[in-house]
A and B are shown apart, each in its own frame.
Chain A
Amino acid sequence: MVGSKRRTWIRVLLIAGVLLFFYAPIASLMVFSFNDSRSLTSWAGFSTQWYTALFNNREMMSAIYVTLVVALLSTFVSTVVGTLTAIGISKSRKIIRELIINVNNFPILNPEIVTAIGLMLLFSSLSIEKGMLTMLVAHIIFSTPYVILTVLPKLRGLDPDITEAAMDLGATPAQALWKVIIPLIMPGVISGALLAFTMSFDDFVISYFVSGNGVKNISILVYTMSKRINPTINALSTILVVIITVVLLIVNLLPMLKKKELRGAE
Chain B
Amino acid sequence: MRQLIEFKNIVKEFNGTLVLKGINLVIHENEFVTLLGPSGCGKTTLLRILGGFLSQTEGEVIFDGIEISNVPPYKREINTVFQRYALFPHMNVFDNIAFGLNIKKQDKNTIKQKVTRMLKLVGLEGYEDRPVTLMSGGQQQRVAIARALVNEPMVLLLDEPLGALDLKLRKEMQHELKKIQQEVGITFIYVTHDQEEALTMSDTIVVMNNGEIQQIGTPTDIYNEPENRFVADFIGESNLMEGNMVADYRVRFDDHEFECIDSGFSDMAPVDIVLRPEDIDIVPVEMGKLRGIVQSSLFKGVHFEIVVETPYREFIIHTTDNAAIGQEVGLHFFPEDIHIMYRIGY
Q: Mark A residues whose CB is within 8 Å of B.
A: 159, 161-162, 164-172, 175, 179-180, 183-184
Contact B88 A162 (CB under 8 A): yes
Cβ–Cβ < 8 Å partners of A164 in chain B: 51, 53, 73, 80, 82, 86
The answer on a CB contact under 8 Å between A168 and B84 is: no
Chain B residues positioned under 8 Å from A170 (CB to CB):
74, 100, 103-104, 151
A161 vs B80: C-alpha distance when bound (angstroms): 11
Is the CB of B192 closer than 8 A to any CB of chain A? no
B90 lies within 8 A of A169 (CB): no
1/0 per residue B82-119: CB within 8 Å of A?
A: 11101111100000000110011000000000000000
| 13 A–B pairs (Cβ distance < 8 Å), ordered by A | A159-B86, A161-B86, A164-B73, A164-B82, A165-B86, A165-B87, A167-B53, A168-B80, A169-B147, A169-B151, A170-B74, A172-B74, A175-B103
Q: Are A167 and B74 interface neighbours, CB within 8 A?
A: yes
CB of B30 closer than 8 Å to a CB of A: no
CA distance A171 to B84 in the complex (A): 19
In the assembled complex, the Cα of A159 lies from the Cα of B53 at a distance in Å of 15
A179 CA to B103 CA, complexed, in Å: 10
What is the bound-complex CA distance between A172 and B105, given in angstroms? Answer: 13
Write out the residue numbers on chain A whose beta carbons fall within 8 Å of the beta carbon of B80.
164-165, 168
B238 within 8 A of A: no
* Residue B187 CB within 8 A of the other chain: no
Name 7 extra pairs, CB < 8 A, besides A165-B80, A172-B74, A179-B103.
A161-B83, A164-B86, A169-B147, A175-B103, A179-B99, A180-B88, A183-B90
- Give Cα distance in the complex from A202 to B22, angstroms: 62
**Nearest Cβ in chain B — how far from A216, in angstroms?**
43
Identify which of B72, B74, B89, B90 gathers the most chain A CB atoms within 10 Å of its CB: B74
- Name the contact of B100 in the complex, choosing from A159, A169, A180, A184 (C-beta under 8 A): A169
| Chain A residues within 8 Å of B99, by CB | 166, 169, 171, 179
Q: Which residues of A contact B52 (CB under 8 A)?
A: 167
Does B56 belong to the interface (CB within 8 Å)?
no
B79 CB within 8 Å of chain A: yes
Contacts of B103 in A (CB 8 A): 169-171, 175, 179
Cα separation A175 to B147 with both chains bound (whole Å): 17
